[in-house]
A = this chain, B = another copy of it.
């Protein structure tokens, strides 16, 4: 079933509807993610239902953590579905899930280190001369232990 194109949206209208800025939309275009279906006589971008749907896809993917570069690849899969397998698509989400898990694990580590610091501190109104937080950040630090910290 082919839906009839009721009317086109101008960039400002689409941006408002999507809750993003006009500039972002143009930026997405410059990055090859989405372009207007056509232009009006005066050169204004005109977006059809199809573009609106595509923008939905983009924002949805963005929301669940894909970068614009990755979304561009996803859009390629989307467009040429028949040339790709479900496996391929699933591998993509799988990799992303592992990536996110890694980020979470890193943050959880940071958080627990911070929480121990935080809880050891009296938080009192006296001067920080003997503040345990500062002391811990300071003191028992050997450089060797640090290197492996960053991803």
* A interface secondary structure, majority: helix
Q: Say how far A14's CB is from chain B's closest CB, in angstroms.
A: 9
**Does the CB pair A85–B127 fall under 8 Å?**
yes
In the assembled complex, the Cα of A52 lies from the Cα of B117 at a distance in Å of 22
**Does the CB pair B134–A118 fall under 8 Å?**
no
Q: Say how far A135's CB is from chain B's closest CB, in angstroms.
A: 10
Question: CB < 8 Å: which of B60, B77, B134 contacts A146?
Answer: B60
Q: Which residues of B contact A74 (CB under 8 A)?
A: 134, 137
Question: CB < 8 Å: which of B83, B93, B107, B125 contacts A104?
Answer: B107
Q: How many copies of the chain does the oligomer comprise?
A: 2
Contact A86 B118, CB 8 Å, known A138-B53, A143-B19: no
**Does the CB pair A64–B110 fall under 8 Å?**
yes
In the assembled complex, the Cα of A96 lies from the Cα of B113 at a distance in Å of 11
**Does the CB pair B93–A100 fall under 8 Å?**
no
Interface residues of A toward B: which range?
35 or more
Q: Which residues of B contact A146 (CB under 8 A)?
A: 18-19, 59-60, 63
Smallest Cβ-Cβ distance to A142: which chain B residue: B56
Determine if A26 is an interface residue (Cβ-Cβ < 8 Å).
Answer: no
List A residues 135-151 near B (Cβ within 8 Å). Answer: 137-138, 141-144, 146-147, 149-150
Pick 12 A–B contacts, CB within 8 A, sort by A. Answer: A19-B147, A56-B141, A56-B143, A60-B141, A78-B134, A82-B128, A84-B127, A86-B122, A86-B123, A89-B134, A93-B114, A101-B111
